[in-house]
Chain A
Amino acid sequence: MMERFFIFAATFLLLLILLTLIRVVGGPTVLDRILGGSVVGSKATVLLLFIGILYDDLGMFVDIALAYAMLNFIATLAAAKFFLRKRNVNLSEFE
């Protein structure tokens, strides 16, 4: 019963990640892509917890999820810091 609930929840979350990828591919600025990547990362943290419950080994997957959340945070901050001094963020200016 709960097993099936977590499978449904994880599938729904994967679907939402796929929908977010639309914004990552086609966002009008670079910052939209960073934003989409950050959102995908936070969803993936939750998804790792679901995978841990489904494999019945949550003690290991919690550490992976924590490391993933930290990496996602550092990546977003570094990218934002980089584009803080780049001045051009529109994707059409890169072509």
Chain B
Amino acid sequence: MSVAAAAFIVAGLFFFFVGVIGILRLPDFFTRLHAAGKCDSLAAELVIIGVALYVLRDFNLGNLLVSLKILMIALFIFVASPTATHALTKAALFAGVEPWQKGKKKS
């Protein structure tokens, strides 16, 4: 059980790393938002599921309750993170942030 948990956590940390590279390197706000959305939902989900598996390594009722609560965090992030990303995109679009195009200067 704890090997599976470690595998989930390492995969999640890898996706966090990729997301941070995307946030630092991509050329405009919308592409950065794309990277951040991946980083938020996918990586956080993987790490949280890994932690929930790690809690269940010795099984009793208290640990099951804690594990279910951790899965509640995962469910909440799964709903909330795309909503936040969508709200930010809408704000950027209405505020007139220009999307990056291929020939233009990098901002």
Contacts and interface: CB of A to CB of B under 8 A. Distances in A.
B48 A49 contact: yes
Contacts of A76: 84, 87-88
Interface of B is mostly: helix
Interface string A24-35: 000011011011
A7 interface: no
A48 B44 CA distance: 12
Nearest to B54: A53
Contacts of A89: 91-92, 95, 97
Contact of B69 (A13, A43, A66): A66
Interface string B43-71: 01001100100110000001001100110
Given A46-B51, A62-B73, A85-B94, 6 more contacts: A2-B6, A16-B20, A31-B29, A31-B97, A45-B73, A84-B87
Interface of B: 2, 6, 9, 12-13, 16-17, 19-20, 23-24, 29, 32-33, 36, 39-40, 44, 47-48, 51, 54-55, 62, 65-66, 69-70, 72-73, 76-77, 80-81, 83-84, 87-88, 90-92, 94-97, 107
30 contacts: A2-B2, A16-B20, A23-B23, A23-B32, A28-B29, A29-B29, A31-B29, A31-B88, A31-B92, A31-B95, A34-B88, A35-B23, A39-B20, A39-B23, A45-B44, A53-B51, A59-B65, A65-B73, A66-B69, A66-B76, A69-B80, A70-B80, A77-B84, A80-B87, A80-B91, A81-B87, A83-B95, A84-B87, A84-B91, A84-B95
